[in-house]
Structures are given as structure tokens and as C-alpha cells.
Amino acid sequence: MKLISPKFIYHGMESTQEIENILDDLGAEKVYLLCDPILEEINAIDKVTAILDSKRIEYVTSTNVMAEPSVEKGNEIVSEVREAGPDVIIGLGGGSTIDLAKAASLVAPQEGGIADYLNLTGGMKLENKKIPNILMPSTSGTGAEVTDIAVFSTGDSKDAITDPLMIADYAIADPFYTYSLPSKVAAASGVDALTHAIESFTSVEATPLTDTLAAGAIEKIYRNIREAVWDKTNYAAKDELSLGSLMAGLSFYNAGCAGVHALAYPLGGNFKIPHGESNAVLLPYVYDEIIKACSNKLSKLAPIFEIDTQGKNNMEISRDITDKLFDLVKEVGLPESLQHYNIKEKDIKLLTENALKQTRLLARSPLELRETEIEKIYKNALEGREK
């Protein structure tokens, strides 16, 4: 049993200040800073640039990012990094920004581009070369700052670069950057983090270590997400959500995600639905199908979800938990069915075909998800919850 994580992880208000010591340790002279455009617009990156200015470190700032980044966008960032020639890369933003930053930190020193190293279609092997990176999330959701995977859209689905060397040298989760999130983004990213935690908890690769992290993350997220989404001044809830996301990221990096993510990827690839929303709309429907294979495990979460277990078996308890997941998606204002995204019954075949390609994710599901089960889940998600 082992647990893999970044070399250093920092969490909490003012943890951004750790950059000063990190740059000293690395002997940095030039930094490439990739950030979400909105963070530059609202001057949120000033906390980072002030440190760079005070240390008289040269830096290049780029906001050339996009949600659900394409392979082409990844290559643009790789080119920017090669031209800038930094000795440190800082990625500050949502999961897409962090994925672009950490992929560039690994691919820029190599031959070729992003497509050459994709899991499903790439033909080249990464060498032991890397530009040190500092990864800083601005959402409480993706866990990208503590994983070694960078996901890219490939037209009709998604593919990824994974390599142990891509994991952050330094992960800094300062809740400050999450305080100004729009409610919808906070909701989607928060349910994304909850999905990471629940899927890792029921993963066939789960361990006692990942279970502890996952259960702790589920509790922090489930009990704070509503206030973090709807109360813009509830910074305590936002702090707890930030920590829950970090814990969920560590858990799913080691235990892995499964069916929800496998079925969510085609929603992003085919219909450009944001990743967090893709997970949120599918989460309860996937568990409604697979709990028959994981009710003994899932039912252990009953206290977190405040389920009355008196006189109930594990399957009944797990069904109550699934109901709570349906309720949560609604309570944080996210779409409850695929109809919201103008998906039709004729689209289910294409979605199923692309979901079946996600063998790495499907292999971790406690219930084997074959074509029949996947089609059923998509159909249920299209029809919506039974009232």
C-alpha cells in the first residue's frame, strides 16, 4: 500500500507566500506564469506577481487558455514556454489551466508536441526531462494540482497525458482564489470534487489510505458546498471546500476515478459540456446503477449524508445516499438531466461508443460497465429522475 503525492503541498490563506521560499530553493531567474484571464482582470494574480517583482525575477504572463483544452491549445502553450525559456512554470487557475501548465512543463523540454504523448494515440515516450512547476488551483474541484494527468479534447472525446514526472513539484491551494467564483462554477467544481472522492472511495483500487482521504473529503464537501456556492461571504465554507477538493484529488490520484468520468468524457468531447457539469449530471445516475456492486462500501458513508439506517440493509442505505446525490445536484443549481444540454435519444449510441473507449477508467468500476449498462445510464440521465 502506497500513497503518491506532490513533493510539497501547501493549503490555507496566505499560502501563496510560500512561492517566495520555493523560488529561492529553485534558484529561479525566469518564470512563465499561466493563468485564467479572469484572474488577471480582477487583479487576483497580483499576490503572485508582487512576489516576483519583489525578488526581481523576470516573468512572462499568459492568459492563453480555454475550458476543456484541445490538443492544439496544448501545443500553443508548449510553444510559448519554449520561446520564453523559463526555469519555473506557475499554473494558476481552474483545472484546464493547470493541465496546460503541467503538460507544458513536461512536453516543452521534449521533442514533438501534445499529440505525440497522448495515452490512447500517442507514439512517443516521455524522457526524464521537466521544467519545475508550481500549481495553484482557483477552483475547489478538479484536484489537478495533485495529479499526474493532463486531459485534452480530441474532437469526439478526450485523451490524456499521464506520467509520474508530471505531478506538481509544489502544489499550493490558497482558498483566496476561490472567493470570487460565480455560483455556477463553484457548484460544478464542487460536485466534480465530490465525484472524485466518491469514485475513489468505491474504486476497485481503493486502499485504507485513500478511503480515509476520500471519506474526509466527502464530509467536507457535502456539508459545505451549499453555503460555499450561495453565500458569497461564507469564507469558512469556501475554505473547507478547498481543503475537501485537495483531499479528494489526493484520493482519486491514488485510487482512481471510474464510471462517472468514463461517461462524462464523451459529454465534453461531443457536446462541449464543461467537465464539472458532465460529472454532476451523471453522478447520481451512475451510482443508481452500480450500487448493487458497492452497497457494502457506499453504505459506510451514511453518517456523512445523515441517513437514518435503522432497520435498513446496505442496499437500502445506499439507495438513500443516491437520493441525496440527486437532491444535491438540484440544490446547488446544476442541470438534473441531459435534456438541458439538448441531447437527444439518437445521440446515446455515439456517447456509448466513446464511453467504451475509456477502458482505463471503466476498469476501476465496482460494477463492470458494458455497452448495455452504459446505454441504460445515459437513457436514465436523459429521461431525468423519477419523481
33 found inside a domain? yes
- Chosen domain end from 156, 178, 200: 178
Domain membership flag for residue 3 = no
Are 90 and 212 found together in one domain? Answer: no
Do 169 and 191 lie in one domain? The reply is: no
What's the chain's length in residues?
A: 387
Domain count for the chain: 2
Judge whether 238 lies within some domain.
yes
- Indicate if 168 and 144 belong to the same structural domain: yes
Same-domain check for residues 157 and 207: no
Which CATH number belongs to the domain containing residue 295 in this structure? 1.20.1090.10
213-251: burial string, b at 16+ Cβ within 10 Å, e else: bbbbbbbbbbbbbbebbeeeebeebbbbbbbbbbbbbbb
Strand partners, 149: 162
Is there a domain that residue 2 lies in?
Answer: no
263, 377: one domain: yes
Task: Let me know whether 21 and 150 are in one domain.
Answer: yes
Q: Tell whether 124 is covered by a domain.
A: yes
Residues 69 and 148 in one domain: yes
Does residue 73 share a domain with residue 135? yes
* 213 and 361 in a common domain: yes
Residues 316 and 220 both lie in one domain: yes
pTM: 0.91
Q: Which of the listed residues 161, 178, 195 is the one where a domain comes to its end?
A: 178
Residues 93 and 228 in one domain: no
Q: What is the pLDDT of residue 28?
A: 95
Q: What is the CATH number of the domain that holds 166?
A: 3.40.50.1970
- Which residues face 61 on adjacent strands? 33
Residue at 76 is within a domain? yes
pLDDT confidence of residue 252 = 94
**Residues 225 and 321 grouped into a single domain:** yes
Residue 1 lies in a domain: no
Task: State which of 128, 146, 178 marks the end of a domain.
Answer: 178
Please give the chain's pLDDT, 387 residues, in tens. Answer: 778 888 899 999 989 999 999 999 999 999 999 999 999 999 999 999 999 999 999 999 999 999 889 999 999 999 999 999 999 999 999 999 999 999 999 999 999 999 999 988 898 999 999 999 999 999 998 889 999 989 898 876 778 899 988 899 999 999 999 999 999 999 999 999 999 999 999 999 999 999 999 999 999 999 999 999 999 999 999 999 999 999 999 999 999 999 999 999 999 888 989 999 999 999 999 999 999 999 999 999 999 999 999 999 999 999 999 999 999 999 999 999 999 999 999 999 999 999 999 999 999 999 999 999 999 999 999 999 875
Residue-range definition of the domain harbouring residue 64: 8-178
What confidence score (pLDDT) does residue 7 get?
A: 87
Is 332 a domain residue?
yes
pLDDT of residue 383: 94
